[in-house]
Structures are given as structure tokens and as C-alpha cells.
Chains A and B, each alone.
Chain A
Amino acid sequence: MNAMLPYVVRRVLTALPTIAIFACFVFLLQKLLPGDPVLAMAGEDRDPATLAALRIQYHLDDPLPLQFMRWAADALRGNLGESLRNHDSVLHLIAQKLPVTLELALLSTLISVLIGVPAGILAAAKKGSLWDNLARGAALWGVSIPTFWFGIVLIILVSVNMHLLPASGYAPISEDPWQNIRTMILPAFVLGNAQAGILMRHTRSSMLEVLRQDYVRTARAKGLTELRVVLGHAFRNALAPLVTVTAVLLGQLLAGAVLTEQVFSIPGFGKMLVDAVFNRDYAVVQGVALCTGVGFILLNLLADIAQLVLNPRLRAS
């Protein structure tokens, strides 16, 4: 494992310029948007004196490189600025919402793994059978249906009609774990369902690839049960690409599942990010983008390390 350390350090170092370029890119994109942030801030009455004062206060008339450098310098010192809309520190806002988004992302990924992977194994093991067709059909359905539609339908069925779960009212795990699970289970299922299809297809094709191998035939010839062959030998070797796909899917969810959060009233990153863009709340968008970018890179790093652990053949390089 000590051999891993230089690898990890190298990866982290190469990630830094990526993050810097990414932050710059997000900053520029925001500034390219039409619409004056001060107008967005100033409210219906649009008093010119107030507009001018706000522009000076937030350095919005400074040249763009200067604005970006100011943000970058502050960010390096741990100060991500303030929301233009409510003066709350961006760090505080992220600290409030990150656990929510993280929880939703992890739960959804867990559900997608619990549904998608076994379905994929079954589909591969019984290729061409009814199970295979059912699994592939379910996968297609999962990726095709819009999440917001599915979410609303579930709310109406489960909350309004059957009164089984609340329609809204998120509570943090630290405050009320039971209410937390009750409000998270439906959105996690909606997101997980959408991703399960992708995982199922990848699992299936990876398994099929492995099941063709000679050593699998050898295992069968040795008299092992089909279950042991599929799960014990084939699946272990099919795992590698699945780790990568799961990491990518989890990373996508880190940016916040906007539509699902909207429908289920979950206070995560997604909603905050969208509102910040509409309000031209630069600091919030930068902060969330930075956080998501770092998270994504970390995830990829973890996935690659997992690959090294799972597949000793890669360690030589």
C-alpha cells in the first residue's frame, strides 16, 4: 500500500490545475450571461442610487481578471464569499446543503446498485431468457421516464392517496433520523431507478465478457455449482468497470439532482445552484462548482485506487 502514496500524491497534484481551469471557466460562463446581477438584487423598485452603491460594494465594475483573482485569493484562504441574495457565507450554505446532497447521492447510488447489479448478473447468467428480456426492458424504462414525472406520480400515489410517506418536510439525520429516511426514500428511489438501468447494462455486458473466458469454463468443468461460478468467479472479475461507472454516476449526483430536489422539496445543491444562476449570485455558483469539481475528482481518484486494489495486474504499472 505504501507504493500507492506517490501515485495518490501525483494524482492530487495533477488535479490542481484542472480545478483552477474549471473554476475560471465557470466564472467566465457566468459573466457571459446577459442580465445585471445588481438589477437581480435590487428588487422591483430599481432605485438608481441603490444600484450604483451595490455595484461599488460588490466590485462588479472591476475588470473581470481582477474579480476572478480576488475570488481565487479569498478561496485559497478558505473564504468563498457571500451570497449576494442573503449575505450568508457561501461556506455556511455549502456546509448546510452538502450533507443533504451527499446523503441523497449515496442513497440513490446504493439503490441503483442494489437493483441494477443483481439484475445485470441475472440477465447475463440467463442470457436470452425471459429474465434477460425483463431486465433489459426495465432498464430501458428506468432511463427513459423523466424523473420529475415519476417523482410526482410517486408522491400522489404514496403520500396523497396511501398516506404512507410525507410529501415534503425534510429533516436532517442528526435531528430526526426517522423523518429523514421517510422523506429521502422516495427521491432516492426515483434517482436510483433512473441509474439502475445504466448499471444493469454495464453489469450485464461486463459479466457476459467474463463468462466467455476460459477460466470460467474450467471452473464449470471442475464441477462447481453455477451459483459459485457466476458469483464467486465471474462477478469478482466483472467488478472493475462497474466501479468506474458507479463513481461517474455518483459524481453526477453530487452536483445535485435539480428536478428531483424540486419535486420532493429536498434542500440540496441542485436547487441552490439553479436559483443562484437565475439571481446572478456569482459567489454561490463558484463555490458550488468548486465543491462539485473537487468532489468529482476525489471520486475518480477513489475509483482508480479501488481498481488497483481489485485488479493486481494494474499495480505493476
Chain B
Amino acid sequence: MKTRLLLAGALMLTATAATAQTLRIGLVDDPDLLDPAPGKSFVGRIVFQSLCDKLVDISPDLKIVPRLAMSWETTEDGKVITFKLREGVTFHDGEKFDAAAVKYNIERDKTMPESIRKAELASVDSVDVVDPLTVRFNLKKADASLLATLSDRAGMMVAPEAAKQAGAKFGLNPVCSGPYKFVDRVQQDHITLARNPNYWNAKAFSFDKIVYRTIPDSTARLASLRSGDLDIAERVEPTDVKEIEAQKELKVVSVTSLGYEGLTVNVANGPASKVPVGQDKRVRQALSLAIDRQGVMDAVFDGQFTPAGQAVPPVSPYYSDKFPPSQRDVTKAKALLKAAGVEHPVINVIYTSSSRIQRVAEVLQAMAGEAGIELKLISTEFATQIQEQTDGTFETSLIGWSGRPDPDGNIYSFYICGGGLNDGHYCNKDVDAILNDTRITTDVAARRALYEKFDAVALDELPIIYLYFEKYIWGMTAKLQGFIAVPDGMIRLDGVKLAQ
């Protein structure tokens, strides 16, 4: 009798132990500060997805969906947005989430010295508390991209009291209102989150713990997935996809990302721009035509990534079918060069010193060579590359952008005269007018038309030559069910479970 009781007890213990599930996620880099205001890393956003809830979220087809805000209304002139908030939400330390908390957070994002959300929220003038569940954003001018901005770090809500007490050190022990709360962290090793039992949608989350492990080396990350030490690995190398698919305990899920890789050309930033490629759009067009984008994909990425001909990926409602990626045409390229009076231009290309980008650069060099263009490849460490772009000491730069859900995030700051990310110093008043108009209306059809007008100019003048859109590729155990891939590359755990 006693042994039977003991056995039953042991079985019950193992049953409960079995349901205490930990999800182990492998990250490519170590997140920086776990504070949405100064946070800048992509992997930090992956952790935030489970740690810090935000006002709105985006769906796989890039629509804005409710999260902490249930609904919103914009006035005719687009200058006032009123949000109705979700009821009964508390932060991990028990504080209430309400309109006052939203006001605190937006003001924190705009005023905290280390915050890099200031430019994102530039259009917000002030935030008013209407009642505990209603908050009003007063904008300086209409900003159609604001909702998309609030689906990321600028819209993440931190606990006001905890943030006030911790100040700049909040990120060492973040307190938010997400489905998981912070437990501990060892820099460059792991971050542990534990289930938040008071979460408004707690039953959608089946894991009790999440452990994010930083494993930068892609082979090591893949090995950990294959040996069963990880459940999900993010940003698997495209060349490893076949290997993962060959193992039946693993599977691959992928989606085209919001971001692109391209060649930024210095068209007006200092003396280095006074070269044919910077001064004459025909040379840029020739370079673009010399490239076989699909060929680059096949050579470097096993055909996994998607060629790009514009700033906005195909999944976006603002993608224009009228501007597909150009097909290679060496004859036309040579003709353009001849018309421009420079049949054998020599062009410097600075690129980030990683093995993947190196291969892309080398393939580009070979392709351009066949059209008579000599690309001089200069491998540069990332921080130096950014410095050179800012200083204008470059001719062309092979660089990517991680992408934003709204096309404004991929375009505005890169093309507007004096734009913060416009390192080539491209300036065209007509383009400025079009881009400023895209911010005023929220009507999708109207904005699409405007972006097509923009494309017609930008893709002719080519201050940025778009090359490809990456794919976010996750490798995971085949037992993981319910994982939905969203083009922003985040790992959303709503409804995800590990089959036994």
C-alpha cells in the first residue's frame, strides 16, 4: 500500500515537473540595455516581445492590432489620436496600468537623456489623461506612421514607479507588464524570464520560463539546436536550412523581413561625392543593371533571400508592382556608361566586415566587372563604417536597414533633405513634398499613390540601390507548435506550445 502511494506521489510529481516547461531561445547577439527607451538592439526587441507589452502590435500582414490599447480614433486633420486602454492590466510589481502610465512613458521616451526614441516621437507634442482608460495624443502635425512606431519600443510601457526609482539603471532590472517578467541576466550569456500569472491573456502562454541564450557563432548555434540544447534558434544562416530540414526532429520557419540590404551612394556629402557614381545617375543605373540580384541570392544565400528593387518589401500593402527588381542587362549598363562619358568607372565600396557581406561584395564586384565597372572593396568594421558614412568619406556603402512596419520608417529619414539617416545627402524638394504628404493621411490608397510617385523619382535617381530583402529564418524543434512568423522577426509566444 505504502509503495503504491509513494509511486502515485512520484508520478504526480513528475507530471507537474513535466508541465513546468522552459523554452530555450538562441540569440545572435547579446541584447543591450533592457529598457525600451535607450534600447537599440534587434535582439533586445525579441526579449521585449515577451517582457514588455506595448500599446499596439502588428499582424503578419502588417496591420496594426490592439494590445494594451483596445481602440483608437484620429481626428480629421490627423493631429489628435485618442486611445481607449485595456482594463485590469497591472505591471509586474503590481502598479496599475492606466492613462497616467502611458503619459509617463511617452514623456520618458521624449525626455530621458539616454532615450533614442526622441526622433521617433518627434511628431508628438503632448499627452493628456482624459480618464484612467482614455489617453489623448496631441501631435504637432499629422503623422500616419505613428501607430506603427507605437507597435515597437516607443509604445512599450514600463512601470512608472519602478522606472522613477531606478532612473538610468532601469534596464538592469526591468519592470513591465508583459506575459513574462524579468528574473536574471548574465551579460553575453543568458537572460531568464518567468511567467507573469497576472497577465491579461496568461492562458495563451504555455511556458513557465524562457531562457534567451546568446550564441553569436552560427555553427555553434546550429549545433546547440541539433543537440537539443536549444528549442529555437533565430536568424539561422540560409546555407544551413537544408541541413536543418534534413533532420526530422527539427523544422524551419521563415518570412521575408521588413528590412533590406543596399548600396548607399554618396551623392552630395563632401568631396568624396565628386565622382561619376555620385554625380551622374546614369552611372548608378548602370551599376544597378549590372547586378544579377537573383544570381547573388543563389551564390551567397542558397537562393533563400528575395531580390529587392524598392525600399518596401513585398508583404507591405505599400509595395508597388510597378517597380520590380531590375533584371540584369549588361548591354544597357554599358550603353548608359558610354552616354555618361565614363566607360570604366572605379568605385569604392565600404562594407561591414562579416563573412556573409564579404561574399555579397565579392559577387557584386565580379558582376559589375563584366559591365566595365571596377568595384574596389574596402572591408570596414561596423562602427567605423557608420562614422565614414556620417563624415562623407565614402563613395558607396554596402549597408542594410532592419526595416520598420510602416514604409515611412524605411524611407523618410533616408531621402528627406537633411534627414538623420540620409548619409549620401540626397536632396530633392519634390521628393520632400511627396514624403511629407505621405505622413498626413492615413488612407492606404492615397499613401500608396504617393509612394508610387516617390518610387518613380527615387528609383530613377538611385541614391540607394536596393539589392535584396533578407528572410528571417528560425530553426526550431519540430515539437514546437503554433509559431507564427511575422516580418519584423520577433518571436511571439502567444499560442505557442511544445508538444510532448
Contacts and interface: CB of A to CB of B under 8 A. Distances in A.
A190 interface: no
B186 A96 contact: yes
A267 B189 contact: yes
For A41, A43, A170, the residue with the greatest tally of chain B CB atoms inside 10 Å of its CB is A43
B225 to A, nearest CB: 8
A50 B120 CA distance: 12
Contacts of A85: 32-33
A267 B191 CA distance: 12
Interface stretch (B140-148, B299-307, B381-389, B479-487): B381-389
Interface string A254-282: 00000000111101000110010011100
Interface stretch (A20-28, A159-167, A218-226, A245-253): A159-167
A117 B118 CA distance: 61
B187 interface: yes
B227 to A, nearest CB: 4
Contacts of B492: none
For B115, B220, B402, the residue with the greatest tally of chain A CB atoms inside 10 Å of its CB is B220
Interface stretch (A86-94, A236-244, A303-311): A86-94
A264 B384 contact: no
A271 B216 CA distance: 10
Contact of B224 (A44, A49, A57, A168): A168
B35 to A, nearest CB: 9
Contacts of B39: 43
B229 A169 contact: yes
A39 B390 contact: yes
B30 A159 contact: no
B116 interface: yes
Contact of A46 (B114, B213, B224, B420): B420
Contacts of B383: 35-37, 39-40, 278-280
A265 B387 contact: no
A40 B385 CA distance: 10
Contacts of A39: 383, 386-387, 390
A265 B420 contact: no
A48 B420 contact: yes
A167 B224 contact: yes
Interface of A: 33-37, 39-50, 53-54, 57, 85-88, 93, 96-97, 152, 155-156, 159-160, 163, 166-170, 262-265, 267, 271-272, 275, 278-280
Which 8 pairs, one residue from A and one from B, show the smallest C-beta to C-beta distance?
A43-B40, A267-B189, A35-B383, A47-B119, A159-B227, A167-B224, A167-B227, A40-B383
Interface of B: 24, 26, 30, 32-34, 39-40, 113-116, 118-120, 168-169, 171-172, 186-189, 213-217, 219-220, 223-224, 226-230, 381-384, 386-388, 390, 401-402, 413, 420-421
8 contacts: A45-B413, A47-B420, A54-B114, A156-B223, A168-B213, A169-B229, A265-B220, A275-B30
